[in-house]
Amino acid sequence: MENGWKDSICKAAQKHGADPERAWVWDLFSSLFLDTEQTNEEVKDIARSLAETRFTIPELVHIYDKEVNPVCVWNMFMWEWAGFDPDWLIPRCMKEQSAHPYSASTKRHHEPPFNLSFAYWDACELVEEIKKLRQARGSLS
């Protein structure tokens, strides 16, 4: 993913008191809710960026399902094309993060997220691609 955009997400995260790496993950997942179809290469690029984060697969599934999906799912009806403004996205995802903190002991985080958004299949594809990338480098989490 473009480093300039990542830098702007990280700056916005710092402005809002959010974890910059988590904000980057929020932004990456939010792209699944845009009115654009992801090419295979774009999905792989997003997966590579997600695979490079410190978050485990269960944490990534939780972030998608509990922090990004509730914020961005409305876009199925509004159709944002250009992307979500970080100053809009970050505070809303922070609120969801507070409301739904991750715990390794809750539910079946090893499974893909189960929700009825159009982004569901893209998210499942991303999770599988992240698993492949991490397995190839010897990190299964």
**How do the pLDDT tens digits run along the chain, 141 residues long?**
467 878 899 999 999 999 999 999 999 999 888 877 778 888 889 999 999 999 999 999 899 989 999 998 887 666 656 678 999 999 999 999 999 998 876 555 445 444 545 566 677 888 888 999 998 888 656
Q: What is the pLDDT of residue 1?
A: 46
In a domain, 141, yes or no: no
Q: Is residue 64 part of a domain?
A: yes
* Residue ranges making up the domain that contains 114: 3-136
Residue 115 confidence (pLDDT)? 53
Per-residue confidence (pLDDT) for residue 75, from 0 to 100: 75
Residue 100: both structure tokens together: 């739904």
d(Cα 15, Cα 102) in Å, to the nearest integer?
Answer: 23
- Contact indicator for 67, 96 with CB cutoff of 8 Å: yes
Q: Cβ distance 39 to 124 under 8 Å?
A: no
How many domains are there within the chain?
1
Let me know: does 75 contact 35? Beta carbons within 8 Å.
yes
Q: Residue 119: name the closest of 82, 50, 70, 84 by CA.
A: 70
| Both structure tokens of 88 | 């809009």
54, part of any domain: yes
Total Cβ atoms within 10 A of residue 27: 25
